[in-house]
Amino acid sequence: MVEINFNHRKPTDVIALRKIDELKLVKIDNKNSQITIGAGLPYQQMEHGEIAQYLPALAQAARTVGSPQIRSAGSIGGNLGTCSPAGDALPVLSALNATVNLQSADSSRSIAIHDFMVGVKRNARKQGEIIVSTTLPIVSGWQGYAKVGVRNAMVISVASCCLVIDRLSGTIAVALGAVGPTIIRCRETESWLATQIDLKTKTNVSPKLLQEFGTRIANESKPIDDHRSTAAYRRHAVAVLARRLLIRANTL
């Protein structure tokens, strides 16, 4: 809508999806340990309740989106459709290996989040498809989201990070937002950390290890200078955010 207000886009035909309740459904599938969230569910409804209970990182990310006015209208479908690397929900979807569910008039398909996000504001949605929902696993362990912006409210992220530890499999996932063309998964750092500490239990992480963790995370980021921040600051910020989340994971 902002693009239309600024004359960057001139729609000639519009299909309103606002009143389609199926796009706002939340399906909790305990048998398969996963949650499917309708693409049109407002962020406001992820801040508390069952979604916050099962997907605390998503609730934290939802809480940082814009203002109450934005959160009562904005949804994951919007983040996915726009595919900005600064979209607040996207690092959470990345760290949790979410799948995106698409539907066209005659077929449907599900696609892994990292196959869906193909570049800056570019995604794999084909003409005629709508984003219906996203499916996220319920992970047994710890998860959190953190973001840096110029103020607390109403801010687009300068850098963001989601960290998920699966205590059952002993694995960690770290995803970074606003420091690359799309969300970046720090897969090298993830596998390195798994060789350094036991991720199946809360572990005291030494200051030296924490320092190296942050440095490795920063090295995997690919930030640029733009009107919102500098690459150097963003590289510094993701290291701080990731370290902070790792500390929380092992103390909270």
Partner 1 sequence: MNANSEIYSLNVNGETHQIRDSWVGESLLYVLRERLNLPGTKGACEQGECGSCTVIMDGQAVCSCLVMAATAIDSEIQTVESLASDNCLTEVQDAFVTEGGVQCGFCTPGLVVAIEHLLSQNPDPSEIEIKEAISGNICRCTGYGRIFEAVDKAVAVRKAKTV
Q: According to the binding rule CB under 8 A, does residue 1 interact with partner 1?
A: yes
CA distances from 182 to 4, 12, 38 (A): 23, 29, 22
Q: According to the binding rule CB under 8 A, does residue 8 interact with partner 1?
A: no
Q: Judged by CB under 8 A, which stretch of 10-18, 100-108, 113-121, 228-236 contacts partner 1?
A: 10-18
Burial-class residue 141 by CB neighbours within 10 Å (0-12, 13-18, 19+).
middle
What whole-number distance in Å separates Cα of residue 64 and Cα of residue 60?
7
Q: According to the binding rule CB under 8 A, does residue 196 interact with partner 1?
A: no
Shortest reach from residue 42's CB to partner 1, in Å: 8
Shortest reach from residue 67's CB to partner 1, in Å: 2
Residues touching partner 1: how many (CB under 8 A)?
Answer: 27
Binding mask 134-153 for partner 1 (x = CB under 8 A): ------------------xx
Two tokens at 91? 């690092």
Shortest reach from residue 158's CB to partner 1, in Å: 16
Name which position in 154, 168, 232, 247 contacts partner 1 (CB under 8 A): 154
Q: According to the binding rule CB under 8 A, does residue 11 interact with partner 1?
A: yes
- Locate the DSSP E strands across 85-129: 99-103, 108-112, 117-119, 122-123
Q: Which of 51, 98 has the CB closer to partner 1?
A: 51
Binding mask 54-83 for partner 1 (x = CB under 8 A): ------------xxxxx-xx----------
89 phi and psi, to 5 degrees?
Answer: -80, -20
List strands edge to edge, sheet with 34-38: 26-29, 34-38, 130-137, 99-103, 108-112
Could you tell me which of 182, 176, 183 has the C-alpha nearest to residue 162?
176
Binding site for partner 1 (CB under 8 A): 1-2, 4-6, 9-14, 16-19, 42, 44, 66-70, 72-73, 152-154
